[in-house]
Structure 1
Amino acid sequence: MRAHLCGIKTAWTEAVSPEAAAAEIARAVGVGMAQLVVFFSPDYDPETLLRALEAQVPGTAIAGCTTSGTICPEGGIDRGLVAIAFPRSGFRIVSTLLDAIDNLDVERTASAVRALRRTLDPEYDRAGDPARRPERCFALSLIDGLANAEETVVSAIAWALDGIPLVGGSAGDDLTFRDAVVLHGGRIHRRAAVLMLVETDYPVQIFKSDNFEPTRTKFVVTASDGERRIVHELNAEPAAREYAMAVGLDPERLSPMSFAAYPLAVKVGGEYFCRSIRHLNPDGSLSFFCAIDEGVVLTLAEPRDIVATTRAELSRLDDLIGGIDLIIGFECVLRRLDAEGRQVRQSIADLYRRYSVVGFETYGEQYRAMHLNQTFTGIAIGKLPQ
């Protein structure tokens, strides 16, 4: 357990049973906290875990999701649970659930987000003139990463936030792609998203960090199923074969490690963003973590030094907010695989320990109005009140 200067407590456990995990977290964070956010392995039965947490920390709101790995000051935990407990002093938190996100009603979602803003701040004006300074607020999103809906969800949320910055992650399930869940309001939810709005007395700064740069190798998506995020053809050739030939790999041996080492990116507004491959399908098509439509130009990217780029971003944030107290971070599971393949995972863990990073490994990351892949996003919280 770690108690931070801002009053947040973070705790983690690798206990095998959900009851034991909940008991360990409760002993670490205590009672009387305003909000508990948990990121946990799909090895736990989510219903059992939720009921155990409710029994151990009565009166505390609980939100969370399944992951493909968790992050804590001790480094990455492949199996287990990480918890972030917000105090009642210095933080004001409201939350809502967005359901049926695979058939999202954008107007209804925007109305729900604006209503949430008014709950946080009753003086909030419908015209979008916030009564409180946006830089003291941030939004956290936890989205079912198997609903294939992040782009629509993030766009609708960001539209209604009126300047409050958004970061978050897509719930995963250890790369099995079978079942991811989110927790909210005492229930387990699928095909849903949790949105939390946080106002704080402490300095905060959202960020994103990646470690790739574009090459001259291009692919045009010539056949795809955008709704299912499947690309059938690149450059009018079977997608897996065309991709594998470009990176010098056997099409039948493509794996998540391959996709982590050779990412694809799309150019938006003059900046490149990753559009990572999820897995190879038996018919030679490729499934992606993001929506990919026909006509999109994908650029093969090559990784830069992941340790150096991460260190530089965390150092920049530390200077910007006058000292980092902790970071709530959302890191693509493919970044973890890439770090493992390059044998630098321990160096990344050392950085996360130094800057008190807590969070989870995702099926996608949210940053403002964008849904991203192979990126590290998050919110840095400062040590001293503003």
Structure 2
Amino acid sequence: MTLQPPPGFAEGGIALDPALVRVVRTDGALSGMSPDTLRCCGRPAGLIVAFLSPNVDFSATCKALRGMSAGAPLLAVSTAGVLCEVPDAAAPLYEAAGPGWQTVLVQVFSPELIDQVSLHSVPLHNEDIRHGAPKLSRRERIQRIADSLDAVRVPFHIDSADTLALTFVDGMSACESYFMEAVYRVGRFPCLFIGGSAGGNLDGGKTYTFDGRSASENHAVVAFVKLAQGKRYAVLKTQNFRKTDKQFIILDSDPDRRTVSSVVDPETFTAHPIIDHICGLLGCARAELEGHLVKQTFGIEVAGEVFVRSIARIDLENDEISFFCDISTGDRLFLLESTDFVTQTRDDYQAFLRASRSRWPGF
């Protein structure tokens, strides 16, 4: 089933061009798909990116996709959900992973859009973290990842004007920040890195990446993408949360385990257990905290931009909170409140188009 942008997204004059990008929603059996689905005007695709439910056989599905790909570059990751429009207007715009969720979402990019792709799988050297007993220092872990990155060879010139690095990090590795610090340390890839984390079921299940050859855990997969001549790109950042005036500073944290146990009130400079402090901010009992955070989360602010830091688990017994991102001592977290997802995304998209047209007349 081919998907289109959410309602109203074409109002700015740009819609998804099926000749350049095709998005297909299927399942672990790749129902309704054939080799022609992954070709563009009879040619192999410039790039294929697949997002797989954690409930399907990841390796088998990737192998089947590769068999249909006619040799096109294929990158795949497991995911905790997908953002897409479905025919039923009452259905959610975002599909989250659940016990019976089988969705596989495949993006097919035309060779008229993407000229060359160089795919690489990079080990994250996080076995100690996965075993629950971190031993490497931050510096040593970053250096090991940097050494692995330094072995990567891209067979074409990297130019930030026409090249980007599409990157997905194993979501259970707790190494996203380590990986990006390693990228800066190596200093050999002068282009924008975009992407995210491979996801899975939120019960601590496994997450996977696929680099066109094999499925891996504890790795990042990077696709260096060079656009076709005459094509260009820009980055849209959107999130349906806005900053409030409630904040605190992290005191005791474990970046490898991504847990926080105590914080500092910036108004009184007094330390508090994190759960008690957040309950005080929200005016709720400890047992009610999870329910109060359904439409709220936390974030950090960097250069005037807010970046979400979502809670993964609240451990009332041990008085600590786990986050989906690493949190460090000294970080200032703001309480964020949710906005309407569809409206916020549409507004951000229209603002993105206006800014792009201002920068590039004729866009």
- Shorter-chain TM-score: what band? 0.7 to 0.9
How far residue 320 of structure 1 moved from its aligned partner, in angstroms, is 4.5
2:208 aligned residue: 181
Instruction: Determine if contact 1:221/1:233 at 8 Å carries over to the other structure.
Output: yes
The DSSP-based 3-state class of the residue aligned with 2:77 is strand
**For 2:314 and 2:19, how far apart are their aligned partners in 1?**
45
Q: Deviations over 1:122-147 (max 9, x none)?
A: xxxxxxxx6x4x22222211111111
1:344 aligned residue: none
- State how 1:42-57 maps to structure 2 within 5 Å: 42-57=54-69
Q: Given the alignment of the two structures, is residue 277 of structure 1 paired with residue 311 of structure 2, yes or no?
A: yes
1:84 aligned residue: 107
1:311 aligned residue: 346
- State how 1:371-386 maps to structure 2 within 5 Å: none
How far residue 158 of structure 1 moved from its aligned partner, in angstroms, is 5.1
Distance 1:168 1:258, change over 3 A: farther
2:123 aligned residue: 99
Counterpart selection for 1:152 from 171, 178, 198: 178
Instruction: Determine if contact 1:224/1:233 at 8 Å carries over to the other structure.
Output: yes
Distance 1:283 1:261, change over 3 A: same
Distance 1:234 1:146, change over 3 A: same
**For 1:247 and 1:25, how far apart are their aligned partners in 2?**
52
**For 1:162 and 1:32, how far apart are their aligned partners in 2?**
27
Q: Matched residues, percent identical? A: 21
Tell me which amino acid in the other structure corresponds to 1:220. I
The DSSP-based 3-state class of the residue aligned with 1:154 is helix
Distance 1:25 1:280, change over 3 A: farther
Distance 1:101 1:65, change over 3 A: farther
1:19 aligned residue: 29
1:327 aligned residue: none
How far residue 290 of structure 1 moved from its aligned partner, in angstroms, is 1.5
**For 2:19 and 2:62, how far apart are their aligned partners in 1?**
26
2:156 aligned residue: 120
How far residue 180 of structure 1 moved from its aligned partner, in angstroms, is 0.8
Q: Which piece of structure 1 moves more, 173-182 or 211-220?
A: 211-220
How far residue 230 of structure 1 moved from its aligned partner, in angstroms, is 0.5
**For 1:303 and 1:72, how far apart are their aligned partners in 2?**
20
The DSSP-based 3-state class of the residue aligned with 1:298 is strand
Distance 1:156 1:260, change over 3 A: farther
Give structure 2 stretches of 5+ with no counterpart: 4-15, 87-92, 127-140, 265-270
Give structure 1 stretches of 5+ with no counterpart: 122-129, 323-381
Bigger relative CO (Cα 8 Å, ≥ 6 apart) = 1
Choose between structure 1 and 2: higher helix proportion.
1
**For 1:149 and 1:240, how far apart are their aligned partners in 2?**
25
Distance 1:303 1:9, change over 3 A: closer
How far residue 315 of structure 1 moved from its aligned partner, in angstroms, is 0.9
- State how 1:232-311 maps to structure 2 within 5 Å: 232-235=261-264, 236-255=271-290, 258-281=292-315, 282-311=317-346
The DSSP-based 3-state class of the residue aligned with 2:234 is strand
**For 1:184 and 1:212, how far apart are their aligned partners in 2?**
33
**For 1:26 and 1:279, how far apart are their aligned partners in 2?**
42
2:191 aligned residue: 164
Instruction: Determine if contact 1:231/1:239 at 8 Å carries over to the other structure.
Output: yes
How far residue 27 of structure 1 moved from its aligned partner, in angstroms, is 5.0
Distance 1:284 1:94, change over 3 A: same
Q: Which piece of structure 1 moves more, 65-74 or 153-162?
A: 153-162
Instruction: Determine if contact 1:275/1:289 at 8 Å carries over to the other structure.
Output: yes
Instruction: Determine if contact 2:200/2:206 at 8 Å carries over to the other structure.
Output: yes
Tell me which amino acid in the other structure corresponds to 1:228. R
**For 2:274 and 2:302, how far apart are their aligned partners in 1?**
22
Q: Deviations over 1:198-236 (max 9, x none)?
A: 121322111212343433323232222222111112233
Instruction: Point out the structure with max Rg over C-alpha.
Output: 2
**For 1:19 and 1:210, how far apart are their aligned partners in 2?**
32
1:347 aligned residue: none
Q: Deviations over 1:306-330 (max 9, x none)?
A: 44432222112334456xxxxxxxx
The DSSP-based 3-state class of the residue aligned with 1:290 is coil
Instruction: Determine if contact 1:181/1:189 at 8 Å carries over to the other structure.
Output: yes
Q: Deviations over 1:136-186 (max 9, x none)?
A: 222211111111010111233356365422211111113222211111132
Q: Over aligned residue pairs, what C-alpha RMSD do you find? A: 2.9
Question: What is the total number of aligned residue pairs between the two structures?
Answer: 308
